[in-house]
Amino acid sequence: MIKALFLMLVLGALVGAVLGFASIKFHVEPDHRAEELLAMLPGYNCGGCGYPGCSGMASALADGDGDVDKCKPSKAEAKAAIKQYLKDHPKEA
């Protein structure tokens, strides 16, 4: 009984250490540009751009696939601000 308990304790500590190391070694920073672009879009979720709402458009813009000029309800100043944001914050390779 004590041998099994000790074995499970050691095994749990070993697996925990491996998972802790893997979480540090393979950490990937998330791309927050899609959330920031979503805040810059009008938020009507009309689908006029061909994407399923503003979140789809923001994701496409962050990936480099979208065109902000397709957003019909967005004003010219907002489109210019989004283009400038994309120029200032390019997608990392």
Distance CA 53, CA 43 (A): 8
Q: How many structural domains comprise the chain?
A: 2
46 and 72 inside one domain: yes
Using the predicted structure, report yes or no on whether residue 80 has a pLDDT greater than 90.
yes
pTM summary value? 0.69
Tell me, yes or no, whether 52 and 15 share the same domain.
no
Same domain, 84 and 60: yes
**Domain shared by 80 and 37, yes or no:** yes
pLDDT at 93 over 70: no
Is the Cβ–Cβ distance between 66 and 41 less than 8 Å? no
Q: What is the pLDDT of residues 17-48, one digit of tens each?
A: 999 999 999 998 888 999 999 999 999 988 88
Rg for the chain (alpha carbons), in Å?
Answer: 23
Q: Is residue 18 part of a domain?
A: yes
Do both 16 and 45 map to the same domain?
A: no
**Cβ–Cβ under 8 Å, residues 73 and 48:** yes
Residues 39 and 79 in one domain: yes
